[in-house]
Amino acid sequence: MCKKLITLLIVFCTTLVNAQDIIVKIDSSRIDAKVVTIDDKVITYKRYTSTDGPTYEISRRYVARVEYADGTIEVYGKTANEAFSSKDKNAVSITTTDIIAGVVTLNYERIFFGNLGVRATGSIGLMGLSGRKPDYYTNSYYYNRFKVFSTGLDIHYFYYHGRNISLYSGALIEYGLVRKGNYFWDFPPYGPPQPEDYYFGGITNGIKMHTGSPLELDMFCTLGWRQSVSQYAYSDFGARLGFSLGYKF
């Protein structure tokens, strides 16, 4: 008799556990529910912990799928994380704000494991190749108008995927060459400009805005430090910030 009672309790508890429906939202959150109705626009449900309580509704555009208690699944889309990691693992972009400093920057990014982004960057400085003589006022901070070229590598970790945005943090290292104007105290600049190698490293935070379109907008800010390796080596603070417009494929 005791064994039969235990068996019945186990079956009863298992039934209770499996009797709930699960609504999986686009943002990957889950609602334990008892689905009441589904139409073209909304899903109505009661909370599983309060089946005698009020009825709620949620727009189907925010629902990825419904997992019913009997094991069947109705799919309406993908979670943001699934959509982000299942396709469009590559992106090419141009950093539009660098153009203000006379620099053309192109980027290629590859997504690995759904959350890890590796981005290679390359820049060409229009003023640096113009032959125009730089002055010493343009030699400080990250944006040097007389940059000749730079190349770098960014490593990003995407810690949040939403319906329209993704958030990431990471680090970068960059090597570049600029033209530096000669100068001495109390005298104007003179003599031919000197090439100057530099390294720049920093920490990046950014937001990617994406929709159903293959186009995406990336807003980012990097704070770091630049170290020159010229004869008169020096270091200074650097900040890289702006927008890039990309195409995913």
List, for residues 189-221, the tens digit of each pLDDT value: 556 777 889 999 999 999 998 766 788 899 999
Shared domain for 49 and 120, answered yes or no, is no
Shared domain for 113 and 232, answered yes or no, is yes
* C-alpha torsion sign, points 218, 219, 222, 228: positive
**pLDDT at residue 69 in the model:** 87
Shared domain for 226 and 130, answered yes or no, is yes
Distance CA 236, CA 221 (A): 17
Among 45, 77, 109, the domain-final residue is: 77
**pLDDT at residue 137 in the model:** 59
Among 13, 46, 77, the domain-final residue is: 77
Burial tier of 80 (Cβ tally within 10 Å: 0-12, 13-18, 19+): buried
Shared domain for 158 and 241, answered yes or no, is yes
Report if residue 2 sits inside a domain. no
Shared domain for 54 and 115, answered yes or no, is no
Mean pLDDT of 94-109: 92
Report if residue 10 sits inside a domain. no
Distance CA 95, CA 32 (A): 44
- Looking at the structure of the chain, the number of domains it has is 2
pLDDT tens for 143-169 read: 778 889 999 999 999 998 776 788 999
pLDDT tens for 110-123 read: 999 878 999 999 99
DSSP state of 97: G
Look up the pTM and report it. Answer: 0.65
pLDDT tens for 19-33 read: 689 999 887 788 999
- Comparing 41-50, 100-109, 141-150, 180-189, the range with the smallest average pLDDT is 180-189
Beta strands in 10-70 (DSSP E): 21-25, 30-38, 42-47, 56-59, 63-67
Shared domain for 171 and 237, answered yes or no, is yes
Segment holding 128, helix H or strand E: none
Report if residue 213 sits inside a domain. yes
Q: Could you give the count of Cα atoms lying within 13 Å of 241 in the half-sphere of its Cβ?
A: 7
Report if residue 8 sits inside a domain. no
Shared domain for 88 and 39, answered yes or no, is no
Shared domain for 232 and 128, answered yes or no, is yes
Report if residue 212 sits inside a domain. yes
Distance CA 44, CA 147 (A): 59
Shared domain for 66 and 92, answered yes or no, is no
Token pair of 120 as six digits: 């290679």
Shared domain for 111 and 217, answered yes or no, is yes
Report if residue 47 sits inside a domain. yes
**pLDDT at residue 179 in the model:** 84
Token pair of 105 as six digits: 């920057």
- Structural domain range at position 136: 84-248
Distance CA 175, CA 62 (A): 44
**pLDDT at residue 139 in the model:** 54
Report if residue 6 sits inside a domain. no
Count of residues in the chain: 249
Burial tier of 178 (Cβ tally within 10 Å: 0-12, 13-18, 19+): buried
Shared domain for 202 and 133, answered yes or no, is yes
DSSP state of 94: E
**pLDDT at residue 58 in the model:** 92
Shared domain for 96 and 213, answered yes or no, is yes
Residue with the larger pLDDT of the pair 234 and 166: 166
Among 77, 96, 111, the domain-final residue is: 77
Closest C-alpha to 216, from 78, 105, 88, 101: 88
Whole-Å CA distances, 78 to 28, 92, 249: 9, 24, 18
Token pair of 161 as six digits: 């995927």
Distance CA 235, CA 140 (A): 9
Report if residue 234 sits inside a domain. yes
Side by side, the strands of the sheet bearing 30-38 are 56-59, 42-47, 30-38, 21-25, 63-67, 73-75
Which CATH number goes with the domain that contains 169?
2.40.160.20
